[in-house]
Amino acid sequence: MTTKNKIKVIVIFLFIIIISIIIARHFVGLHFKKKFSVRPAPGVIVQLVESSIFNKTIETFGTALAKNSKTYRIKKDQIVGNFNIDGRFVKKGEIIAALKDAKNIIADFDGKLGKREIAQGVLGTDSLIITLDDLKKMVIDIKVPENYASILKKGLRVEILSSSGKKYNGKTESISSRIDPSTRSILARVIVNNQKYEIIPGQLMTVKVIYDETRHLSVPESAVIIQGKTAFIYVVKNDLAVKTDIVIGKRNFGKVSVLSGISKGDRVISEGISKVRNNLKVKILNN
């Protein structure tokens, strides 16, 4: 083979090698592009749009007192027979204490008896003060800033919380007709059911008056994204995250009221929002 032919063969061979490398790189690139460009759908947590109650509250403090209460004063030496007071429940008309002169102490209503200590010399050491409290219903008088005067009315729902964390339900029974000029507050009376006798007269309670109650569709606060004056959420439709503009209202207990933009039963992304964008396929992790 001549030198010229040898060079020609070598050039053709190199050309084939180069073409083979180019083709190989092309297919390898397609393989890796296909493998890594398709990412798995991000996992998200969704919640159904539901109807919730939203409200405003006035929070203050007050002392619980028996709605009906009476005090009896008697002389110890006038008592006949055994005399039991502490923790005793009596019915209306029942004898609280039998006295020598037959002027017995009679219960004016159903309630629990108690004994109040008196200072020596006030009524004499031979005297007793007996208390009778009707504990089925308690009253709490609260002072509310005057700017809430137009809001307060009879029958408002009230939540009462004791120092132990126990919660009770009540309602406003009456509202004062005057504002106290020294405190710039208005007095309101709250009545509380105490059928289990758990509230004790004199107990300090946290009182939350609830007003302006409305019912709206709601979504979790974590689902709402606010950009400037616009609020939006992602609603899952056919496994796609669809960006949806909404008009929001009140906020309560980690929820936001939605005035327009969604329907009851829509599936809204509440967790994993940072991983999604409009019309992106998602994987729902919860049922």
The C-alpha atoms of residue 129 and residue 72 are separated, in whole angstroms, by 6
pLDDT confidence of residue 166: 92
Residue 135: pLDDT band (50, 70, 90) is very high
Better pLDDT: 195 or 26: 195
- How is the chain classified by DSSP, letter by letter? --HHHHHHHHHHHHHHHHHHHHHHHHHHHHHHHHHHHSPPPPEEEEEE-EEEEEEEEEEEEEEEEEEEEEEEEEEGGGB-S----TT-EE-TT-EEE-BTTS--EE-SSSEEEEEE---TTTS-TTEEEEEEEEEEEEEEEEEEEGGGTTT--TT-EEEEE-TTS-EEEEEEEEEEEEEETTTTEEEEEEEEE-TT--S-TT-EEEEEEEEEEEEEEEEEGGG-EEETTEEEEEEEETTEEEEEEEEEEEEETTEEEEEES--TT-EEEEE-GGG--TTEE-EE---
Query: Under 8 Å CB-to-CB from 254, ≥6 apart: which residues?
Result: 220, 221
219-238 pLDDT, tens per residue? 999 999 999 889 999 999 99
pLDDT confidence of residue 127: 77
Tell me the torsion sign for CA atoms 142, 148, 150, 151: negative
Task: Share the mean pLDDT of the chain.
Answer: 87
pTM above 0.85, yes or no: no
Tell me the torsion sign for CA atoms 208, 213, 219, 224: negative
Q: Where in the chain is the domain with CATH 2.40.30.170?
A: 56-62+137-214
Query: Under 8 Å CB-to-CB from 110, ≥6 apart: which residues?
Result: 89, 90, 91, 92, 134, 136
CATH architecture of 43-54+215-284: Beta Barrel (2.40)
Is it the case that residue 56 has pLDDT exceeding 50? yes
Is it the case that residue 35 has pLDDT exceeding 60? no
Residue 159: pLDDT band (50, 70, 90) is very high
* CATH value of 69-133 in 2.40.50, 2.30.29, 3.40.50, 1.20.144: 2.40.50
Q: Where in the chain is the domain with CATH 2.40.420.20?
A: 43-54+215-284
- How is 199-258 classified by DSSP, letter by letter? S-TT-EEEEEEEEEEEEEEEEEGGG-EEETTEEEEEEEETTEEEEEEEEEEEEETTEEEE
Which residue bears the tokens 């992106």? 280
pLDDT confidence of residue 12: 75
pLDDT confidence of residue 123: 47
Is it the case that residue 39 has pLDDT exceeding 60? yes
pLDDT confidence of residue 167: 94
Tokens of 227: 């950009």
Would you say 186 and 176 are in contact if contact means Cβ atoms under 8 Å apart?
Answer: yes
Is it the case that residue 269 has pLDDT exceeding 90? yes
Would you say 257 and 250 are in contact if contact means Cβ atoms under 8 Å apart?
Answer: yes
205-218 pLDDT, tens per residue? 999 999 998 899 99
Is it the case that residue 41 has pLDDT exceeding 80? yes
pLDDT confidence of residue 124: 52
Better pLDDT: 100 or 46: 46
Give, in order, the Cα–Cα distances in Å from 171 to each of 55, 137, 203, 213: 15, 11, 18, 14
* CATH superfamily ID and name for 56-62+137-214: Efflux pump adaptor protein, beta barrel domain (2.40.30.170)
Is it the case that residue 202 has pLDDT exceeding 70? yes
Pairing of strands 167-180, 95-97: unpaired
pLDDT confidence of residue 117: 59
Q: Where in the chain is the domain with CATH 2.40.50?
A: 69-133
